[in-house]
Structures are given as structure tokens and as C-alpha cells.
Amino acid sequence: MNSLPEIVPNFDNEKIAKIVKDLYGLEGEISSFVSYEDQNALIKTKNGKFVFKIANTKWPKDFVQAQIDVLKHLKVTAPKLKFSETVKTLKGDELTKIDGFYVRLLTFLEGEMLTNMPRNEALYSDVGRFLGQFSKALENFSPKSPEGSDPLWKLDQVIDCKPYVKYVIDDDTRDRMMRLYDVYEKDILPKLPLLRKAIIHSDANEQNFLISPDAPTKISGLIDFGELQYASQINELAITLAYGLLGENDVEMASNAVINAYDNEFKILDEEREILFYLMAMRLITTITMSSYNANLYPENEYILIAQAPALILLKQLEDEKYILN
């Protein structure tokens, strides 16, 4: 984890309007986007929509720059996939420091979040297709500093979450998680150094995949590169499966659709395939563990534990249907 102090930005709309006009010559309606560590604002102008991003001070400049550079890289290596583009200032800068915060402007990517769309086999297949092409496009991307993500949310470092399992209140789930950790430490952790490594998005989930309303079974784009990191490349697929199958009754249909389509675009190696569902389960463990820890910190917030319910169910499904812990 970097040692920079954490300050969450809190610019008011009047200040954002002035910055956007001064830096980019744009004027328009401003509204906030939800962001937990940074600050994002939607800017609606006569020239189109834009997203103004203000980075938390804990992110090093090189990491923010990496999020800019990856979009330029993808424009070249994955021209058929859609991503936001960085808008330069009137002076030609991609990144500007204002009052100690790094700010930048992105084009707005239209689409409905995957989480709001009905799921079917065709849509799951297109998730795999998009993600496979994305992984292929990133295999040779090497930014100066990709390390900005919270270590506890890095799948390669999931062992660091083990001390927090004690905060999981459900006995059955906690037992399942500890048995998973036993298998992970014995059979999977030693294999991590041998797996392919690359820069990954690491948060390609149902809220970051976008779908065009005109083509409800097609992924139209991917947003939010704030968890960008260097990691085992198969983690990308494992993380997408962990989030994408939440609430899905037919795990076999959905997982096969995603995995087969991904494999058609970017070949999964045997050593990656044999541990894929365990990696998926370990991401679910992180989600459950950290939400349980936060519920302990904020016991008045009942929603925290309610929101983890789909992850609890999916983790149990994976064991019951013999994907893990056979």
C-alpha cells in the first residue's frame, strides 16, 4: 500500500464548473456520480456528456496516469471495444493538479449497467467474448506504476484477508471459508508464481459492464479502471465470474457461457483452468469477509450484511454443485 495520505475530494458544483470551464472551455449541467474514494461528476454540455474525475490524494500520480495510458493503449489494441477517452485541456494536458488533487476529464460512455439487465446465455457469452478480447489487448501493456489498488482486494493477496474471517457471523459460511483457505494454501498459493501475469482491470463486474438498450445481449463497453493492477491474468476472469453469477440459479449454464466465450478469444491455459473456480470462490471470500468487517465497524448499517447475501448463496452453490471442495 502506498504511504500517501488519504483525502477524499469534496469539490462543490460551483468549483467544478469553474475548473471545467477554465481547463476545457466547457459549460453545462453538473451532477454527482457515486464514488467511495474519489469524486466523479457528470457534465452535460451542448458538445456532449463528460465525466470529471477528481482522485483521492492517496493515489500516486503515476497510478492516475496509468489509468489514462491504458485507455490510449486499448484504443490501439482493441479498436472494436468501447471505452472512455481522456479529454485534453485547452493547453494539451491530460492530467492537472488542483488544490493538491489530480483531475482529469473523460468522454461519457453511454449504456445501461449489466446489473439492471435480464441475464441469459447469449448475454453471458458476450461478457466472455468482451473480456477475452480485453485480456488479449492488455497482455503487453506495461505502465510505469499500476499499483494503486487496496492490497486486501488484490486476489493474488487474498491470504491477507484470512485474519478477518472471524468477523463473518454465519457459522456455516465461516467453516466453508476456512476449508477453502486450507485448500488454497496447500494447492493454489504455491502455483501463483507460475501463472501468467499482466495488467488487469480487476473489477470487471455487473456495474462496470455497459449494455446498449438497442442490443440487450451485447456488452457495449467497460468503465472504471480505478482497480488497475499487475496480477495473475486469470484473475480477470475469476473476478468477473464471482460478480457476474451473483443471483444466478443456473451456475453451470452461466459459467460455461462466459468461460467458453472467453477461451475462444483468449486461450485459457490448463494450469489456469484447474484453479479458476477456486479463484472465483476466493474473490467471494474477500467480498463476504470485508463486508462482515465493515458491518462490525458500522453495526447501525443493516444494509451491509443484507447486500452480502447473494455472495453467501453463490459460495454455497459452488460447493454444493461440486465446483470446489470436492
The answer for residues whose C-beta is within 8 angstroms of residue 72's C-beta and 6 or more apart is: 86
C-alpha cell at 42: 457528470
Least confident among 143-157, 200-214, 244-258, 303-317 = 143-157
Mean pLDDT of 254-272: 98
Mean pLDDT of 228-250: 97
How far apart are alpha carbons 173 and 281 in whole angstroms? 12
pLDDT at 1: 40
pLDDT at 148: 67
C-alpha cell at 30: 453538473
Burial of 196 (0-12, 13-18, 19+ CB in 10 A): middle
How far apart are alpha carbons 127 and 50 in whole angstroms? 25
pTM: 0.95
How far apart are alpha carbons 58 and 41 in whole angstroms? 19
Q: Which residues partner with 44 through β-bridges?
A: 29, 49
pLDDT at 82: 96
Q: Where are the domains of the chain?
A: 13-109, 113-320
Mean pLDDT of 19-37: 93
Mean pLDDT of 129-145: 93
pLDDT at 241: 98
In CATH terms, is domain 113-320 a member of 3.90.1200.10?
Answer: yes
pLDDT at 302: 80
Helix or strand (DSSP H, E) at 14: helix 13-24
CB 61 within 8 A of CB 69: no
CATH, range 13-109: 3.30.200.20
Angle between helices 251-265 and 121-138 (to 10 degrees): 40
119: nearest Cα among 208, 203, 204, 211: 211
Report pLDDT digits (tens) over 62-105. 999 999 999 999 999 999 999 999 999 999 999 999 999 999 99
pLDDT band at 115 (very low <50, low <70, confident <90, very high): very high
How far apart are alpha carbons 184 and 254 in whole angstroms? 24
Q: Which residue has the cell 447486500?
A: 307
Report pLDDT digits (tens) over 279-308. 999 999 999 999 999 999 888 888 788 889
Mean pLDDT of 165-173: 96
How far apart are alpha carbons 170 and 140 in whole angstroms? 43
Length of the chain equals 326
DSSP letter, residue 266: S
Helix or strand (DSSP H, E) at 208: none
SS3 state at 54: strand
DSSP letter, residue 248: -
Least confident among 56-65, 120-129, 267-276 = 56-65
> How many CB atoms lie under 10 A from the CB of residue 12?
8
In the chain, how long is the greatest CA-to-CA distance? Answer: 61
CB 207 within 8 A of CB 114: yes
71: nearest Cα among 87, 56, 55: 87
How far apart are alpha carbons 182 and 199 in whole angstroms? 28
* Residue 35 pLDDT > 50: yes
How far apart are alpha carbons 220 and 111 in whole angstroms? 7
* Residue 3 pLDDT > 60: no
pLDDT at 244: 96
